[in-house]
Structure 1
Amino acid sequence: MQIEIIDINKLLPYINNPRKSSNIDKVASSIKEFGFQQPIVVDKNYTIIVGHTRFEAAKKLGLKEVPVQVADLSINQSKAYRIADNKVAQDNYWDFEKLQIELDSILENNYELINTGFDSDELDNLLNKNLKNNDNLKDSEINESDLKGSKQCPSCGYEFN
């Protein structure tokens, strides 16, 4: 795989992209914190196959250039990959016990948890949930009725109830 740095204005969003970009702010925050770690995948004409949200986030951040991978895919492969990339990620499950360990470790090391991509309400749920019996729940199954205890971020002082 070869990654090129391309002028952002050369990229063309796919007009029939079936996925709506609702996390532009979160992705922009991620790019700002960690840099551009995943290239935008484009076809030979620089039409975006995968990475529409990264593209929008980069524009929001005022980036002039972005990393891209030019994929050698047929039109049908590009269409299928565009759908599969989003669908496969959507079907993932969290191992909440391991997620709890990772979040606790990040918190103990005074790093901002908001950089994980979870918003404050989600973090509140995750940090206070009894996770041992719920390690196969989908993301959308976290609810406030399972909350207990409280934790405080040592860096920013935010208290999670």
Structure 2
Amino acid sequence: MRALDALIPYARNARTHSDAQVAQIAASIREFGWTNPVLLDGDSGVIAGHGRLLAARMLGLAEVPCIELAHLTEGQRRAYILADNRLALNAGWDEELLRVELAELKALDFDLGLTGFAADDIAALDGKPLDVEFPEFDETAGDDVAMAICPKCGHEFPK
């Protein structure tokens, strides 16, 4: 963990973050915790995670988790700043699997806004409804699973 005020954002970071997007990141951190630490160079300079820093400020946090990448050359560091922001944008979606995942999250009464998808995006998935039928839950489904007990801590887990 590093003090938020000690971190130095990259002045030439070409990625922008709207207030709405920072609020989405903040909501994600509130819901899921810190799943993606801020990446730093060897001098507390931010390589990746500028949006997360803004969200941390919005949440009133004093410290954030960080990973230091001091081994990068200046060229590598600058190129990675761009690559980190761009590479995920080059991916696509399997819309059928996306539709199923969103439908199942909806069935769990999960706030779909936390996925980053807007209601219009969800509705635009080929105009197909997000209704999914689930099989009946069978409470005896796990009865025949063999269990083991950890000899050190006593925790019981499936074999």
TM-score bin, normalised by smaller chain: 0.7 to 0.9
Residue 26 of structure 1 and its aligned partner are, at CA, apart by 1.1
Note if 1:110 corresponds to 2:100.
no
How far, CA to CA, are the matches of 1:46 and 1:83 in structure 2? 18
Note if 1:87 corresponds to 2:86.
yes
What does residue 43 of structure 2 align with?
45
SS at match of 1:31: helix
Residue 148 of structure 1 and its aligned partner are, at CA, apart by 5.3
Residue 123 of structure 1 and its aligned partner are, at CA, apart by 2.4
Report the AA paired with residue 116 of structure 2: G
How far, CA to CA, are the matches of 1:33 and 1:14 in structure 2? 27
What does residue 13 of structure 1 align with?
9
| Cα deviation digits, residues 14-59 of structure 1 (max 9, x gap) | 0000111232111111111101110000111111001111111111
Q: CA RMSD in A?
A: 1.5
Paired residues of 2:100 and 2:130 also in contact (CA < 8 A): no
Largest Rg, 1 or 2: 2
Residue 12 of structure 1 and its aligned partner are, at CA, apart by 0.7
TM-score by length of 2: 0.76
Structure 1 portions without partners, runs of 5+: 130-146, 152-161
Note if 1:55 corresponds to 2:53.
yes
Percentage of pairs with the same residue: 37
Report the AA paired with residue 59 of structure 2: L
How far, CA to CA, are the matches of 1:19 and 1:7 in structure 2? 23
Residue 125 of structure 1 and its aligned partner are, at CA, apart by 2.0
Structure 2 portions without partners, runs of 5+: 132-159
Residue 90 of structure 1 and its aligned partner are, at CA, apart by 1.1
How far, CA to CA, are the matches of 2:128 and 2:114 in structure 1? 23
Residues paired across the two proteins, number: 128
